[in-house]
Amino acid sequence: MQRAARELYTWSRCTHPNVLPLLGLVVVDNQIRMVSRWLDNGDLPGYLSRNPHVERLNMCMQISHGLEYIHSLPMIHGDLKGANVLVSDTGVPMITDFGNAVLQYGTLQFTKTAQLPGFTARWTAPELLLSEDHTQSKEADVYALGMTILEVMSGKIPFVKYKHEIQLIAAIVTKGLTPDRPETEMPTGDERSDKLWSLLGRCWCFEPTERPSASEKGQIMEQSAIADPEMREWIFGVA
């Protein structure tokens, strides 16, 4: 218990502009709940629907940096998706909802259930869908990051054509299904879109070890922006 308390204290002291800080814990109905500050802009999907012209790729890069920081603690988020990213008053995306988080080398694990939360399956790596205990990993976080970036860029949830979760899960684990390319938002033949789509494809590799790290993903996006003025303008809105 003392070690877990020390880990929680360390976590609460961690700061990053793209991670919503932990303010404290409360016990409700004999369950530990985490407390963070309220953000009026709400979650990322809602914010994007109200602000359709925001620089979406810039937000994706910031989310990647937030996940990179989480992994450096070392910690695993375990449930990354658009709904678990809140937006600050200045339009900065901040990763939140650490209900499934695991302190990788410590003793504390908040949740380890035999049932995946509703709709989270759309962001969940195949190895977790196939696992009985759903053990989280950095590689699974990167898979979810790719789905979150797709969600941000397209404005739709992953696998939007699938209405039933059971059918979707079966297609992912038996056929290695990955999302269709959103041609309207990421047209084939557009060099910038092609680069990003290729990177997302790596995030969705069926074999976890073939996926890039969150750090590598962020570096690739930044290097592309530096080397390509058009890419830089696409991401940051500046030439």
Given CA atoms 70, 109, 41, 204 in this order, what sign does their dihedral have? positive
CA atoms within 13 A on the CB side of 33: 8
Q: 79, 89, 133, 180: which is the annotated catalytic residue?
A: 79
**In the annotation, is 79 catalytic?**
yes
- Burial grade of 206 (CB within 10 A; 0-12, 13-18, 19 or more): middle
CA atoms within 13 A on the CB side of 68: 16
Q: Which residue has the tokens 């990051």?
A: 145
Token duo for residue 47? 């914010």
191/230 Cα distance (integer angstroms) = 10
93/62 Cα distance (integer angstroms) = 7
Point out the residues that are catalytic.
79
